[in-house]
Every structure is written in C-alpha cells, then in structure tokens.
C-alpha cells in the first residue's frame, strides 16, 4: 500500500439547473425519453463561470475544511477536457487565485477517466518522497462543448467540479492497487474539441469542430465489456474479491452502465452509488463530486475500501482501489 491520506473532499456546481423538461422546450425530447436511457433528470449549467472559477471554488473549500494554508501545497493538478484556454492552463489560474506560492501546477486531460488518472499522478508524486501535500481537482464546463441542437449528446452532460487534498502519511491508509489502460484504436467513438488546422502555406487541412460527437452504441459496449475486465485486474493486484470493496465510485456517465457493472460483479447497487440523476455526466468531475457527497453524508467511514472507476474518451479506463 502507498500510504497516502485523502485529507478532505469538496465540490462545486453552478446554481443554474437545466431539467429534462427545460430541454424539451428547445429540442425534440422529453424526460420520458431521456431518463430511462441515461438515468439523468437534470444537470447544472454555468451562466457566468468558467472552468477555473469552479476549480477555484473547490480549492478554497478544500483548504478551509483542512485548515491548510495555500502555501502548504507542493502541487496542484486539475483534470479537465474543457479548460478556460490552452494557456494559461487551468491549474495555474487556480494556483494564482488561491495564492499558493510553493505549488507547481498543471492540467491533465484524460477526459472521463481524468479523476483516476489524476489521482494516479498525484499519488505517484507523494509516494516518491519528494512532495508531502497536494491537491487534485476534476473540473469541467462541458456546456461549451455541447451542440444544444443535438439531442443525442446535449442531454448527457453537465458542468461541475470536485476535488481532494492528499498528504503523505504513516497511517494505514492509501492506494492499494491500480490498473490503467488505453484503447487509442477506438478513440473516434468519442470526439470533442477539434481545432481548425490551416496555415499561411496551405489551405484548410481540417475544419473547426468544438462539439461532442459520440457513437453511443460503441461506447456503451466498450464500457460494459472492457471496464469490468480492468476492474478485475485491479482487484487481483489488490488481492481482493469484489465483495471486499465497500463502494465502487464509477464515472457517472449512464445509470445502465453502472447497473451492468454491479450485475457483472454480483454486487448490489448499494455498493455502486449514483448521482447522475442530478448532475449528468461531468467527466473528470463526476467521481470527485460523488465522493464528496458520500463523505459529507457520512456514508464513507474510516477503514473502508473504495474503488474509483473511470472510463470514456481516449478511449481509456482507470481503476484505483483505496483504503480510506
């Protein structure tokens, strides 16, 4: 076990809520069509904020809960596929906003696996012995990547952020095992944010296309077939059976996918909590938001074993098993 403590958690979502009924006012859809297929009733959407604003709110909340000074931080990592800009990167904006002079900062983009990949990088830094305290935040404003005329995609996504403070410790807690896998040969199943490619010496090589495009059937098949295989490898590395894990916090993409995971492992849905009903798919933010809700409600208790399960764009899958 890598002895790393999840010191505290926090989340922030925009105040503005868009229900399925609201979407029915601007496109041909309904709650009766969306909810049975996705498990989503509503999502939160920004009206004035950008990704760095959501992440900064989480960062300030994390520090306040832990009683840490921003100067205590060695690093800040933000997982996002929807940054304010390519430069400055979102983590650097957060570092400036909270005045963390000793922290280096960078973004990580692993799309919907971003929470697990970010936690992997952060835990590696701490396990190296070179750093003692770090912050990881998954933050997304996916509403700027959605074509709100496309009902096959726009009904899925929401905006939000969640994060953790991590600390090297001697306590018997931390990362037990992980398994990360990429499937780049299937990457075109989820395409987002393509830049226009042209220059002074040639014509247009490829056009600007900022919006989500998704082969829903392929992604569903990938998630239900490949994710359980990676989960089993993580459990084998940890020397655990499926029933030894107290909670599986899966990326909140689609309730039917999460139900399929629980069935595959012979576990009740009580061990696979969901909150996409309220938030939709918030990509790198989804697992962190769910983690904070469970911690705040007292459902996560010291000594529990928690599995974080990310999957999506790349295509990529990541699974970590922690003792908290």
**Candidate list 44, 89, 109, 112, residue with the active-site label:** 112
Contact 307, 241 (CB under 8 A): no
Tell me the angle at which helices 90-97 and 51-66 cross, rounded to the nearest 10 degrees. Answer: 50
Q: Report the half-sphere exposure of 237 (CA within 13 A, side-chain side).
A: 18
**Candidate list 20, 50, 251, 254, residue with the active-site label:** 251
Q: Dig out the tokens for 194 from the structure.
A: 């393509």
- Confirm whether 112 is a catalytic residue: yes
- Phi/psi of residue 3, nearest 5 degrees: -80, 90
Is the preceding peptide bond at 315 cis, omega within 30 degrees of 0?
A: yes
Contact 55, 46 (CB under 8 A): no
Helices (H) and strands (E) in the chain, counts: 10, 15
Picking from 135, 147, 176, 180, the residue whose alpha carbon sits closest to that of residue 316 is 180
| Residues contacting 181, CB < 8 A, separation 6+ | 226, 230, 316, 317, 318
The catalytic residues are: 112, 251, 281
């Amino acid at each position: 076990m890598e002895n790393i403590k999840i010191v505290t958690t926090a989340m922030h979502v925009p105040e503005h809520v868009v229900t399925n009924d609201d979407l029915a006012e601007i496109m041909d859809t309904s709650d009766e069509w969306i909810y049975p297929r996705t498990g989503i009733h509503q999502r939160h959407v920004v009206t004035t904020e950008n990704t760095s604003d959501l992440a900064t709110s989480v960062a300030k909340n994390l520090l306040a809960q832990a009683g840490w000074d921003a100067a205590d931080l060695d690093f800040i990592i933000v997982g996002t596929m929807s940054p304010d800009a390519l430069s400055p990167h979102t983590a650097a904006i957060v570092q400036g906003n909270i005045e963390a002079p000793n922290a280096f900062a960078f973004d990580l983009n692993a799309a919907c696996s971003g929470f697990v990949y970010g936690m992997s990088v952060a835990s590696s830094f701490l396990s190296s012995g070179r750093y003692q305290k770090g912050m990881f935040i998954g933050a997304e404003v996916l509403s700027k990547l959605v074509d709100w005329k496309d009902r096959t995609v726009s009904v899925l996504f929401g905006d939000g952020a969640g994060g953790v403070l991590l600390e090297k410790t001697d306590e018997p807690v931390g990362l037990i095992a992980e398994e990360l896998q990429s499937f780049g040969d299937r990457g075109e199943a989820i395409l987002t944010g393509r830049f226009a490619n042209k220059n002074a010496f040639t014509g247009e090589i490829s056009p600007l296309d900022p919006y989500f495009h998704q082969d829903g059937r392929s992604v569903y098949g990938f998630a239900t077939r490949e994710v359980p295989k990676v989960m089993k490898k993580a459990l084998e590395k940890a020397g655990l059976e499926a029933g030894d894990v107290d909670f599986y916090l899966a990326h909140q993409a689609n309730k039917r996918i999460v139900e399929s995971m629980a069935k595959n492992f012979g576990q009740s849905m009580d061990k696979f909590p969901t909150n996409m009903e309220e938030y939709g798919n918030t990509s790198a933010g989804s697992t962190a938001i769910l983690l904070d809700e469970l911690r705040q409600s007292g459902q996560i208790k010291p000594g529990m074993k928690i599995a974080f399960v990310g999957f999506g764009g790349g295509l990529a899958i990541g699974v970590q098993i922690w003792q908290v």
